[in-house]
Amino acid sequence: MLKPKILIDTSFILPSLGFAVEQEIIEAIKYFRFFEIFYSELSLLEASWKIVRLGLFEEIEIILRGIRAVKETYFKVEIPTKAYALAYKMWINGHKDMIDNLLYSTAYVLNMKFLTVDEKLISFLKNMRYPVNNIIISPRELKAMAGKM
């Protein structure tokens, strides 16, 4: 049986890099084994911005081990050209986080699920009537999906 394909938001990469995150993120990661998990290099870039902003250079070995773990454990997704067009449209419509726009758009164009806890993004998508059903999933929905497998 094919495992469902899920693109993860940056929040789900942060624990691998040594960051403390909400418990619901940690709980969700426990269910990753039931799915084909994809990441984007954009998430590693976004995490890198956080690392330099916080000046976490003393923890560089932990961070590099985490990056290696992400690259060896998950599948890397390439951003389709059509995803850029949708991401630009989202920007024009008011969502000014291009990383989130590209991650959502990638999942949408590739017919994948997008695992996120970003309520601001979800609210924007719903308000602007972008598709969310069968694309956006929460940690709770991930757990429910895993329970059915």
Section 71-93 average pLDDT: 98
pLDDT for residue 54? 81
Reduced to 3 states, what is the DSSP secondary structure of residue 138? Answer: coil
Distance CA 32, CA 101 (A): 23
- The model's confidence at residue 115, banded by pLDDT at 50, 70 and 90, is very high
The candidate with the shortest Cα–Cα distance to 105, out of 76, 120, 125, 127, is 125
Does 148 score more than 90 pLDDT?
no
- Parallel, antiparallel, or unpaired for β 113-115 and 136-137? parallel
The DSSP element (H or E) to which 99 belongs, if any, is helix 98-109
Q: What is the pLDDT of residues 32-49, one digit of tens each?
A: 999 999 999 999 999 989
Cα 23 → chain centroid: 16
The mean pLDDT of the chain is 94
**Contact by Cβ (8 Å): 18, 63:** yes
Residue 129 has, within 13 A of its CA and on its CB side, a CA count of: 0
Bridge partner residues of 6 (DSSP) = 37, 113
- Parallel, antiparallel, or unpaired for β 5-8 and 36-39? parallel
Handedness of CA 101, 102, 104, 110 (dihedral sign): positive
pLDDT for residue 68? 96
Does 72 score more than 90 pLDDT?
yes
Q: What is the pTM of this model?
A: 0.94
Domains of the chain: residue spans and CATH: 5-147 (3.40.50.1010)
pLDDT for residue 55? 82
pLDDT for residue 106? 98
pLDDT for residue 32? 97
Reduced to 3 states, what is the DSSP secondary structure of residue 20? Answer: coil
The DSSP element (H or E) to which 7 belongs, if any, is strand 5-8
Does 2 score more than 90 pLDDT?
no
